[in-house]
DNA sequence: AAAGTTATGCAACTTTGTTGCAAATTATTT
DNA sequence: AAATAATTTGCAACAAAGTTGCATAACTTT
């Protein structure tokens, strides 16, 4: 695991620091998405709030994580499974938000379907979020 | 217009006040979605921030407006075109966020397609956001 | 191991959203 | 139409979320 973390950071030209390793580890451990608050809690408050913000931001820029649009507009992040190049994400999978446990899951196998748009609209990226009951809460 | 506004408010058992009329008018005028900030600016700062928050919240509860999940997690609202009953929205249309002008458009004619979920996941509601260039910016 | 580079933590601040309460507005009753 | 009852508004004060500058600490490179 540590080797993997090291690799991911170095591949993205990021220096390997305690906070980055720990936060990346959290993402690798948890199948679902993490909110800023989750991370602050699960790290045992070892890192400053600012550090968490900056780490998430740089992970986002590097394409290590992506953020998930939710209907309640809470900010959530999840690991990119595909190869996301710097600044250009392409995780075309559907996200599932459980209305019971409020966990967010990346449905890596479910692709976002394409839709026919009205004349004049050119799509660049599509995102889809499904709310409901997840497999752990049914 | 005024009659329409009056009607909408009364139909939803809301007392007809200045701020509610004005904010509802803004929604009716603008085709796209509005963020909290937009409303504060466009009303000419006539109303208190708190009033705007409370008005949007009650419009949301009554099903007059719905909120839109965006990839940048900014909170946006748009008028419900369908008949949304209290607490139960069903605007199954796709939302389009323009990456040039950053306006959000409700594509009322484009329904959110359904997807096959993995075993154990029961869907309740689906939302889809497409980013790209809108018809005014192409 | 030392120099150079980058990241962290702290403090202070801005923005965003919430709550309680008195005053003002709206709806209702007579 | 005036008075009463019920809501809503704005203010103040607060809580939460996110940002910025800078000195210290940690990581990288040689």
**Per-residue model confidence as pLDDT tens digits over A35-46:** 888 898 888 668
pLDDT given for residue A101 in this prediction: 83
pLDDT given for residue B101 in this prediction: 83
Please report, for chain A, the start and end positions of each structural domain, with discontinuous segments joined by +: 2-132
Secondary structure of residue B117 in the 3-state scheme: coil
- Smallest Cα–C1' distance to nucleotide D6: which residue has it? B15
pLDDT given for residue A89 in this prediction: 54
What does the pLDDT look like over B13-34, one tens digit per residue?
Answer: 999 999 999 999 999 998 788 9
> Which of A29-33, A71-75, A97-101, B36-40 is least confident?
A71-75
**Quick check: A49 pLDDT over 80?**
yes
Phi–psi pair at A42, nearest 5 degrees: -75, -20
Residues of A in contact with B132 (CB under 8 A): 117, 121-125
Which residue, chain included where needed, has tokens 């009056």?
A: B6
Instruction: Indicate the DSSP class of residue B133.
Output: E
pLDDT given for residue B42 in this prediction: 85
B31's tokens? 């085709």
pLDDT band at B88 (very low <50, low <70, confident <90, very high): low
Residue pair A71/B69 in contact (Cβ under 8 Å)? The answer is: yes
> Average model confidence (pLDDT) for chain B?
87
What does the pLDDT look like over A77-122, one tens digit per residue?
Answer: 998 765 555 445 556 889 998 888 878 888 888 999 999 999 999 9
Ordered DSSP codes for B37-82? HHHHHHTTT-S-HHHHHHHHHHHHHHTSEEEE--TT---EEEE--S
pLDDT given for residue A41 in this prediction: 85
CATH class of A2-132: mainly alpha
Residue pair B130/A117 in contact (Cβ under 8 Å)? The answer is: yes
- What distance in Å separates the CA atoms of residue B132 and residue B138, rounded to the nearest whole number? 10
Q: Which of A33, A113, A122, A129 to mutate to test the interface with B (most CBs of B within 10 A)?
A: A122
**Nearest-by-CA chain B residue for A72:** B69
pLDDT band at B104 (very low <50, low <70, confident <90, very high): confident
pLDDT given for residue B100 in this prediction: 85
Rg of chain A over all Cα atoms, to the nearest angstrom: 16
**Quick check: A64 pLDDT over 60?**
yes
Q: How far is B33 from chain A (nearest CA, A)?
A: 14
With b for 16 or more beta-carbon neighbours within 10 A and e for fewer, the A23-44 pattern comes to bbbebeebebbbbeeebbebbe
Q: What angle do CA B2, B5, B7 make, to 5 degrees?
A: 110
pLDDT band at B12 (very low <50, low <70, confident <90, very high): very high
pLDDT given for residue B109 in this prediction: 87
What does the pLDDT look like over B46-79, one tens digit per residue?
Answer: 899 999 999 999 999 999 998 888 777 678 899 8
Secondary structure of residue B135 in the 3-state scheme: coil
* B17 CB contact with strand C at below 7 Å: yes
Which residue, chain included where needed, has tokens 């949301």?
A: B60
> Average model confidence (pLDDT) for chain A?
87
Q: How far is B51 from chain A (nearest CA, A)?
A: 20
Which nucleotide is closest, CA of B48 to its C1'?
D10
Q: Residues 31-50, chain A: which have Cβ under 7 A from strand C?
A: 46-48, 50
Collect all residues with Cβ–Cβ distance below 8 Å to B55 and sequence separation of at least 6. B19, B20, B23, B47
Q: What angle do CA B91, A35, B38 make, to 5 degrees?
A: 50
Distance measured from the CA of protein residue B119 to the C1' of nucleotide C19, in angstroms: 43
């Amino acid at each position: 695991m540590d080797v993997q973390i090291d690799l991911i950071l170095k591949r993205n030209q990021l220096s390997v620091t305690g906070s980055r390793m720990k936060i990346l580890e959290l993402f690798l451990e948890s199948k679902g998405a993490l909110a800023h608050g989750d991370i602050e809690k699960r790290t045992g408050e070892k890192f400053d709030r600012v550090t968490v913000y900056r780490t998430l931001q740089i992970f986002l820029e590097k394409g290590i994580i992506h953020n998930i649009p939710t209907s309640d507009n809470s900010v959530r992040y999840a690991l990119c499974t595909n190869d996301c190049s710097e600044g250009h994400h392409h995780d075309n999978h559907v996200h599932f938000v459980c209305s019971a446990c409020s966990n967010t899951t990346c449905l890596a196998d479910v692709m976002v379907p394409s839709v026919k748009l009205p004349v004049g609209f050119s799509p660049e990226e599509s995102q889809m979020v499904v709310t409901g009951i997840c497999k752990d809460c049914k």
